[in-house]
Amino acid sequence: MFKPVIKWSGSKRSQSAKIKEFFPSSFNRYYEPFIGGGSMLYAINPTNAVCGDICVPLIDLWNEIKNNPAQLAEAYRLRWTRLQTEGYQAYYEIRDDFNKSRSPEDLLFLSRTCVNGLIRFNVNGDFNNSLHHTRPGISPDSLEKIIMDWSKHIQGAEFIAADYTITTETAKVGDLIYLDPPYFHTKGRYYGTIDFDAFLGYLEHLNSKGIKYMLSFDGIRGEDNFTVELPKELYTRHEFIPSGNSSFKKVMDKASIQVLESLYLNW
């Protein structure tokens, strides 16, 4: 399995191969308006894609990976070396720097050295997770290889900091939209939220235009069924995709439970 370049909550890396099996055999432009860690983008490897997110530092980081991979790798190396030589204070100084400047280079470093790799922001958009004291963070040499590999994979993608409706406003018949929004039952865990009723109206709009979409959403977690009752007229198929054990649950509760996520298709 490929290695992540950006660790982001709700990653689809573990189920990307399974989700890919449901993709249509051909499509024109690929849209992913909740890009996050980009696992599906890597798995699909489209030559023409538009990807977005409302988190500006995240999109800035994607554009650095695409356009300036060597410089980004060097920026991580400098920060990582500083952490090893100066100790924990360096982490918190870099975190303060990010919260002032929203630097994508700082964000990459923080994401690789924070507790359990869980990127967390407060209501002001400030990074607020702590240093993972017992781990040094991925080595600069290892991360450089990952950055360079991803950079080659995403040259056909445009990254924009925008709401999902704006990211996909140029989509038309023959294109494909993959949607991985903040889940209904996980408010507060992800960056930003969406208005559920407005989102349903958006899906209805895509159907009216004949644009294919795939939607990853709440499913089953252990004995708990979090599946959301979407209006039946909005989709044609509903599949459950195994995604291994819940890493978030494992971190928070020291428990390991099987997770099945919903995948909706409108064709």
Instruction: Kindly report, residue by residue over 203-234, the tens digit of the pLDDT.
Output: 999 999 999 999 999 899 888 899 998 999 99
> At residue 249, does pLDDT exceed 70?
no
User: At residue 96, what are phi and psi to the nearest 5 degrees?
Assistant: -60, -40
pLDDT at 82: 97
pLDDT at 255: 61
The verdict on whether residue 66 carries a ligand-binding annotation is: no
The rounded distance, in Å, linking the Cα atoms of 61 and 232 is 38
The torsion region of residue 146 among left (phi > 0), alpha (psi -120 to 50) and beta comes to alpha
Domains and CATH numbers, the chain: 13-54+162-265 (3.40.50.150), 65-151 (1.10.1020.10)
The verdict on whether residue 141 carries a ligand-binding annotation is: no
In a 3-state reduction of DSSP, which class is residue 235?
A: coil
Residues in CB range of 174: below 8 A, 6 or more apart: 27, 28
The verdict on whether residue 60 carries a ligand-binding annotation is: no
The verdict on whether residue 53 carries a ligand-binding annotation is: yes
pLDDT tens for 63-95 read 999 999 999 999 999 999 999 999 999 999 999
Decide if 118 contacts 110 (C-beta within 8 A): no
> At residue 29, does pLDDT exceed 90?
yes
Render the burial of 240-251: b for 16+ CB within 10 Å, e for the rest.
ebebeebbbeee
pLDDT at 18: 95
151: amino acid identity, one letter: S
* 21 burial type by CB count under 10 A (0-12 exposed, 13-18 middle, 19+ buried): exposed
